[in-house]
Chains A and B, each alone.
Chain A
Amino acid sequence: MREPWWITIIKAFVIINLVMVAFAYTTWLERKLLGRMQNRYGPNRAGPKGLLQPIADLVKLVRKEAFQPDSVENGFVYIIAPIISMFTALAAFSVIPFGAGWHLWHWHIDGQILNVPIALILVFALGSIGIYGFIVGGWVSDSKFSLLGSMRTCAQLVSYEVSLSLAVLGVVIMGRSLSLVDIVHRQDETIWFAAPQLVGLLVFFIAGTAETSRAPFDLPEADTELVAGYHTEYSGMRWGLFQTSEYINMITLSALTVTLFFAGWHGPWAPLGPLWFFLKLFICVSIFIWLKATLPRLRYDQLMRFGWKVLLPVATVNAVVTAALVVAFQ
């Protein structure tokens, strides 16, 4: 049974807003958690427990002048860059399943915005397009720090994308599908893929950390080296869009981890589906934040070496071994 198109549109609208709220409160959570880990309070002025801080930040960013350097030759590209990143980040979330689907009166509602048979490829494809935003944004700014930042982004994201895709190959082989919904169902029937695909999970998580430019792989915007990396010359909400897309990328990646390795919305009591999904997502995001509080930053050449010489072989071997075992036990 298919859901009517207008439900999809309403759902898309709701989900986009939910993701935006999730993003806003991820920043709050990050600042709060980092604060606690670092012996301080974090935001606690705006609203109770600082809960209005993201709203205040948004108001500040929107009201701030979106400054554009004179040296920017192509203003259109300068403005479109953060929008590309933001758009792809949001679009990638559309295929993430967060619930089993419901029957409401005589309509059927899916547990995701779109059930695409090649959802996994779509997510990666959108992610790859999103990288253009970072690269072009840094390049068009015509600033040396931005250029260095976008060079790093370019190299880092392209090389870690390979490991990222190879890491999920094991899951795809075991799940026998590229559709995220099918993979989740399969995990419910057999076993959470985190157990048999532990290596894949680790590679996926590490490569994902690099892919979303989170510590210890936050080289593209290593503030102590490159001031702010590719978005040095951005301000106001344009800068905000870059930040938003980064956080949403992180949320999407966490959602993908939950979906691929931890059986998505499945939990002890089925009707609470989306809640389980949210809980797993929350834990995953918290781990990202924890990493940021703990680890120093890698150096550029070490990062590349790690990506190509450690992660890629491990991911490849994992995929090959999984494939061999799956064929052997059939």
Chain B
Amino acid sequence: MTIAPERRATRTWPIVGPPIYEGSRIPANIPTILEVPRELANLDDILPVNFGPNHPSTHGVLRLVVDLDGERVVGLRAVIGYLHTGFEKNMEQKTWWKAITYPPRMDYLAFQLNELAFVLAIEKLLALEVPEKATWMRQLMSELSRIHSHLIWLGTAALEIGAISLLFYCFRDRDAVLDLFELVGGQRMHTRYFQAGGLAEDIPDGFYPEARTFCEYMPKAIDEYEALLTRNPIWLERTQGIGLLSADDAIALGQSGPVLRASGVDWDLRRDEPYLAYDQVDFRVPVYENGDVYDRYRVRVDEMRESVRIVEQCLNRLDRMNGKPWIADDRKVVLPPREELHTSMESLIHHFKIVTEGYRVPEGEVYVCVESARGEFGCYVVSDGGPKPWRVKFRAPSFVALEATATCMHEALVADLIAIVGSLDTVMGEVDR
């Protein structure tokens, strides 16, 4: 068995900017719980309120048990598990190639990225070479997925702070992304377009012009959102200095992705531990130093712009790959082309074996992580050499981000609570799995 290498035992984190606050604000050993201070609890003037699991702004079914002193949040407890569906356990019952459909359904906003992590893990166990075209297409789809996820985040987060129109603008453009997905995979969400070995199908001809139109249009749309929010005094009042999370606390709480980068830690897996072809594209990793809701917003908006740039570069590469293979030519893992089934006995047998029993993956365990829209999305897979995964475990960035809630809630009001939980961008499907 190969054990995942010790990746960051001795790492010094690239922290940018001055400390956001002195010391640590992590409230307790259990970082998700903010205890009501003793002197307040004795006053008998605390109003416990249940935000969720059914509440207009808890992103699904997050339940926050909040203790309020007037409008001030003095106690907080996050209760999760309302959306537990047992994805990981279910995947143990499915053959490898059927299990691919599960990860995208966990984080239903950045679905391609989750799919990618699992597929990469299978390929790592199989030691499978993926054709270049598939790699670039995967990268393109991941970035579109990131844009999709950030758009929904922006729309809902703005809605929670009261800017209702942004939701509709963001959903309009999100639909453009979904149209692209539909064009490629036939499905709008949960495309299952990535396959162990490459892509499920070749890229359709009409995709390139459509994608280019989108790339031209999207930066203008982002300008529009920024015109509504970035310098809007009310938006600044509501987001600047709210939900502070220092770089040290963010690292101690295991944060990743935009939340970490908004706290001034210059860390992005795409650049620092490149997978796919990220080392061959030019992009900037946005880092902001203040660790507040506003900076998380800025990081995500900037990331959308960078993602558009990456998509453009991928398109430039893919343009030159017409007619190249989109999936590895390993008949033990990859389904044979449809037309061969009628002429080749060998292909028919392979097809039958893969569809009924599934391919076998060598014994071993791997940890693969990708930079999902929410941060480090890790996939830990153990194989016993059979046609089904023996154990699958995900490191869900949303789950980790949720742990920072109580730390960010330092001296927050009810309205801030909503803004902060929104800014951490948790997807409950991924948290509860």
Q: List chain A positions with a Cβ less than 8 A from chain B.
A: 34, 37-40, 144-145, 147-148, 151-152, 215-216, 218-219, 222-227, 292-302
Contact = CB atoms under 8 A, between A and B. Distances in A.
B413 A300 contact: yes
A300 B414 CA distance: 9
Main secondary structure of the interface of A (DSSP, over half): helix
A296 B238 contact: yes
Contacts of A39: 168-169, 172
B160 A224 contact: yes
B241 to A, nearest CB: 12
A37 B163 CA distance: 12
B414 A296 contact: no
B56 A294 contact: no
A216 B164 CA distance: 11
24 contacts: A38-B165, A39-B169, A144-B49, A147-B47, A151-B70, A152-B71, A215-B162, A224-B57, A226-B414, A227-B56, A295-B163, A296-B232, A296-B234, A296-B235, A297-B238, A297-B415, A299-B413, A299-B415, A299-B416, A300-B413, A300-B414, A300-B415, A301-B413, A302-B238
Nearest to B162: A297
Contacts of B169: 38-39
Contacts of A292: 164
B160 A299 contact: no
A298 B162 CA distance: 8
Given A39-B169, A223-B56, A227-B55, A302 B237 contact: yes
A148 B229 CA distance: 28
Interface in B272-318: none
A38 B413 contact: no
A214 to B, nearest CB: 11
B418 interface: yes
B78 interface: no
A51 B170 CA distance: 28
Nearest to B68: A148
Contacts of A222: 162, 415
B168 A216 contact: no
Contacts of B184: none
Given A145-B49, A300-B413, A224 B159 contact: yes
B413 A216 contact: no
Contacts of B160: 224
B56 A295 contact: no
Q: Which of the listed residues A39, A145, A299 has the most CB atoms from chain B within 10 Å of its own CB?
A: A299
B228 interface: yes
A295 B236 CA distance: 12
Q: Which 3 interchain pairs have the tightest Cβ spacing?
A: A297-B162, A38-B168, A224-B57
Contact of B163 (A147, A296, A300): A296
Contacts of A224: 56-57, 159-162, 418
Nearest to A215: B162
Contacts of B158: 296
Contacts of A294: 163, 165, 228
Contacts of A227: 55-56
Contacts of B49: 144-145, 148
B56 A298 contact: no
Given A301-B71, A301-B413, A293 B162 contact: no
B61 to A, nearest CB: 15
Contacts of B161: 224, 296-297
A34 B56 CA distance: 20
Nearest to B419: A299
Contact of B162 (A34, A151, A152, A216): A216
